A and B are shown apart, each in its own frame.
Chain A
Amino acid sequence: MLQPNATFIAQIIVFLLLLWFIYAFVVPMIAKPVNERYKRIADGLAAADAGRKELEAASARANDILREARERARAIEDQAQRRSLEEIETAKLAAQAEGARIVAASQAEAANEAARAREQLRREFGALVVRGASQLLEREIDARSHAQLIERLTQEIAGD
């Protein structure tokens, strides 16, 4: 109980033996896997963090690309629309010009036709007048002088 004796020395040896055993075997045997596990956990968390950052960066990049593509599509659409409008405009102008040309041509044709008809009418009228006059005179008139007469008459009629 209270008397110190040689037990003291023996207890020192027992304690030192236990301490040596724990120092030499137990603590390293615990510390190694535990520290490795802590490192693995820390590494895993860091990797997860890095992965999340990478994902964020990638999705940001994807968004950029998407936005750029959308803008480019819109620009192309605008350009196409503009060009189609221009083409429609040009076609319209061309059609108008063509129409005007056709109208003008037909007008000219009509005028020509009218002039030719008038000319023929005049000739036929002249011939009719000559035939009428010759019937009135009941005599033959020289064809040559006829022609000259008709020509003259024609001129006169045309002159009205």
Chain B
Amino acid sequence: MTHHLSHQKVVLGSFTWNVDTLLMSTLLAAAIALLLIVGARRLRSDRAPTGLALFVEYIYDWVDGQVAESYRGGRRFMDSMALALFVWIVAMNALDLLPADVPSNLASLAGAHLWHVLPTADINGTFAMAFVVAVFIIVAGVRAKGMGGFLHEWIAAPLGKNPLLWLPNVFLNFVELLSRPVSLALRLFGNMFAGELMFLLIALFTLNAVGPDVGTVVLFVLQVGLGFVWSAFDLLIALLQAYIFMLLPIVYITLAEEHHG
């Protein structure tokens, strides 16, 4: 079982790379970039979209609506960030629905002994996105208030301007700054890792079966039934977690641009 959850690693000097996470996420990023651009190129202003263009416009329109609900201001960057996060995370999460052995068996054909197919169940993947979001939150705050205003809020908000409260303010802001990306990254990682673990546990039911006896048949039926139920549930989780990872950065950046204290 652990071979499904261990990464295929390449060590170059002091750097270790999870090849599976990198390859799957990069392939998916390229695939959705291609999909989006092909759909977008077919959009016209003088007729209704169809097919892929309709799909792309629908997602864009929905994401744009989500951004517009909280963010006041030019939406090009926010739309881009939300679109990138949502579509990419959905695509990566969808890998969880592949039968557990298929990706690793395919990878072993290519010579990889280990293959952890789900990039969002690798904290490197989720923390990378959360880190970028955290940087954007800081940049948005500085851009909206200037460096002086930004630093002022670090010592003067949320508790107040009193010099006695400066230290608690800085502490709270520091916790906030850290907790947001950490919770983002761990929430996605935890949900997807747990979902993957569930699939693997369900797959264990008949792993060591020796023959077609009654117990094996019961376990097989259970495995198929639970596998089906968990697939449906995991699909829900995959979409919901992508939505949360898209929505919270919008809210955080909106808040970062507001004036406090």
Which residues on A are within 8 Å of B, measured CB to CB? 1-12, 14-19, 21-23, 25-34, 36-37, 40
Contact = CB atoms under 8 A, between A and B. Distances in A.
A1 B116 contact: yes
A29 B80 contact: no
Given A1-B122, A33-B44, A23 B60 contact: no
Contacts of B132: 12, 15-16, 19
B17 interface: yes
A7 B122 contact: yes
B93 interface: no
Contacts, number: 128
Query: What is the predominant secondary structure among interface residues of chain A facing chain B?
Result: helix
Contact of B18 (A7, A15, A21, A27): A7
A17 B125 contact: no
B15 A15 contact: no
Contacts of B226: none
Contacts of A31: 60, 76, 79
Given A18-B84, A34-B57, A37-B46, A5 B18 contact: yes
B251 interface: no
A4 B122 CA distance: 9
Contacts of A4: 123-124, 127
A6 B76 contact: no
Interface residues of B, number: 48
Contact of B36 (A1, A9, A14, A26): A26
Interface in B90-140: 116, 119, 121-125, 127-129, 131-132
Contacts of A27: 60, 76, 79-80, 83
Interface string B6-41: 110100000111100110011001001100110011
Q: Which of A11, A31, A34 has the most CB of B within 10 A?
A: A11
Contact of B83 (A12, A26, A32, A36): A26
Nearest to A40: B45
Contacts of A10: 17, 22, 124, 128
B127 A8 contact: yes
A8 B116 contact: no
Contacts of B81: 19, 23
13 contacts: A1-B121, A5-B17, A7-B16, A12-B132, A14-B22, A18-B32, A19-B80, A22-B80, A26-B80, A27-B76, A27-B83, A30-B60, A33-B44
